[in-house]
Amino acid sequence: MGKHAERVDRSIRAKRKILIVGAGQAGLQLALSLPADRYDVTVMTTRTAEEIRDGRVMSTQMMFGPALDRERENGLNLWESQAPAVTTFNVTVAGPPGAEPLRFTAALDAHAQSVDQRVKMSAWLERFRARGGEVIVQHATAAELPALTEQYDLTIVAAGRGDLVELFDRDPDRSPYDRPQRTLSVIYVHGMAPRDGFSAEHVGITVLPGVGELFTMPALTTSGRCDIIFFEAVPGGPLDRWDTLLDPPRHLELALDLMRRYAPAEYERCGDVRPADERCNLIGAYAPTVRRPVGEPAGGTPVLGMGDVVVANDPIAGQGANNAAHCAAVYARAILEHGDRPFDRAWMRRTFEAYWGHARHSTAFSNLLLGPLPPHVQQVLGTAAGDPAVARRFVNGYADPGAFTGWLTGPDGASTHPGTLTDTADRQRVP
């Protein structure tokens, strides 16, 4: 064999096989970040691209500047010119009965965007297949995983639902809640009017202490530009009205009634709203959880968890898609730097801890907002209402939660004033 042929043969043998179970933000971004000439990547998903596109909405997915940069690095920002560029936050915090609400507006240092994951994931899956990646449409179970892992150098579980998640043990030291702290309701709509005197594309946040939160935000969906109406309800409170998934018109009717009563400024924008499509709404609730990164299938090779599998924050701070993008970037770099060495448990733990260096801050911020707002946070919000510099600093912390360390959260990523995890019935309610 000649030297050239030997080099080619060695290159072929060195191509590593990686299986990614899950076709969401984390899994597909990672799959599309690994060079095809060095890695033979397979994505396993329960749905085809067409089924994803025609399915139900999955999240609100507001992504901030740093996470969008992770997409841009790999040419995955396919909707940069189509999705609304969100430049501003408008925050309202309700006061006690009879008191004026606290309000402030501040600009983001870099614009944010929300692209319906039905649009994004279906296109990314098609892009992955077009570049030669293998797509297996199959529901993988924990019992089937050992046989699968034998075929690959590395298996990564990025599917945040189903029994595969149970392979990863809950980390009690990083998971202060053991039950849902909010029930969630989302609907995409067309026809929402701009806020009076406010031309910029913005995220609207209405905080109702002890009751929950309302978020409104522009997005790009399958039918073009839309707005998202997103409630986070304290369980058992007056916003907790979605026991079952309604059809979109009835879901919207209930949402508008709650907006009329609890967020009249947002309700005034909704005179002509209509559901964006037949599957534009969802409801849910889950306990925020951090899990240990190494899963141990019975009789199989260890697998690495990523994205929502290992860090599932409540979406109150809008960190889910952002965490997934950062996780994909960290994992891709770790895989590339590891070369031909085995992907053992020690490597998996180091790789996750590198990601946790980012995710601990977003987790601390998300968990902080779920409890009764501590006095120091109330003070920050009150100051922000009269000080544009403080308002801007607070708003831009959504893009970089690490900036809250030593200000809203402690140096280890935990809240400096975590509050108490009391029963929700003990919390103050807004009538």
Which CATH number goes with the domain that contains 170? 3.50.50.60
313 within some domain: yes
**Paired strand residues for 316:** none
Answer yes or no: is 411 within a domain: no
Q: Is 386 within the bounds of a domain?
A: no
Is 430 part of any domain? no
The C-alpha atoms of residue 32 and residue 27 are separated, in whole angstroms, by 9
Q: What is the pLDDT of residue 412?
A: 59
**Angle, in degrees to the nearest 10, between helices 117-130 and 25-33:** 30
How is residue 209 written in tokens?
């202490």
- Report the pLDDT value the prediction gives residue 285, as an integer from 0 to 100: 94
Residue type, 379: Q
In a domain, 83, yes or no: no
What value, to the nearest 5°, has the Cα angle with vertex 23 and ends 131 and 201?
A: 95
H/E run at residue 369:
helix 345-370
What pLDDT, on a 0 to 100 scale, did the predictor assign at position 324?
Answer: 98
> What's the rounded Cα separation, in Å, for the pair 155 and 67?
24
pTM for the model stands at 0.91
Alpha carbons 158 and 36: distance in angstroms, whole number? 20
What single-letter amino acid sits at 247?
D
Q: Which residue's entry shows tokens 């839309």?
A: 226
Q: For residue 81, is it within any domain?
A: no
Give residue 428's pLDDT: 30
Contact 234, 184 (CB under 8 A): no
Q: What is the sign of the dihedral through the CA atoms of 306, 308, 309 and 313?
A: positive
> What are the backbone angles phi and psi of residue 203, rounded to the nearest 5°?
-95, 130
Q: Which stretches of 114-273 are DSSP H helices?
A: 117-130, 145-149, 248-262, 264-267
pLDDT at 431: 26
**Contact between residue 52 and residue 150 where contact means Cβ atoms under 8 Å apart:** no
Helix axes 25-33, 320-338, angle to 10 degrees: 30
Sheet holding 134-137, edge to edge: 134-137, 39-45, 16-21, 154-157, 303-305, 294-295
Looking at residue 364, its pLDDT comes to: 95
Per-residue pLDDT of the chain (431 residues; tens, 9 = 90+): 444 444 444 444 568 999 999 999 999 999 999 999 999 999 999 999 999 999 999 999 999 999 999 999 999 999 999 999 999 999 999 987 777 889 999 999 999 999 999 999 999 999 999 999 999 999 888 888 888 899 999 999 999 777 899 999 999 999 999 999 999 999 999 999 998 777 779 999 999 999 999 999 999 999 999 999 999 999 999 999 999 999 999 999 999 999 999 999 999 999 999 999 999 999 999 999 999 999 999 887 999 999 999 999 999 999 999 999 999 999 999 999 999 999 999 999 999 999 999 999 999 999 999 999 889 899 999 999 999 999 999 999 999 999 999 888 866 555 544 332 223 223 232 22
Range of the domain at 7: 3-67+116-177+288-365
pLDDT (0 to 100) of residue 198: 75
Please tell me the total count of domains within the chain. Answer: 1
Q: What is the pLDDT of residue 411?
A: 60
Answer whether residue 406 is part of any domain: no
Q: 184 near 229, Cβ under 8 Å?
A: no
Q: Residue for token digits 């031309």?
A: 199
What does the block give as tokens for 300? 């199989």
Domain assignment present for residue 263? The answer is: no
Handedness of CA 308, 311, 313, 318 (dihedral sign): negative
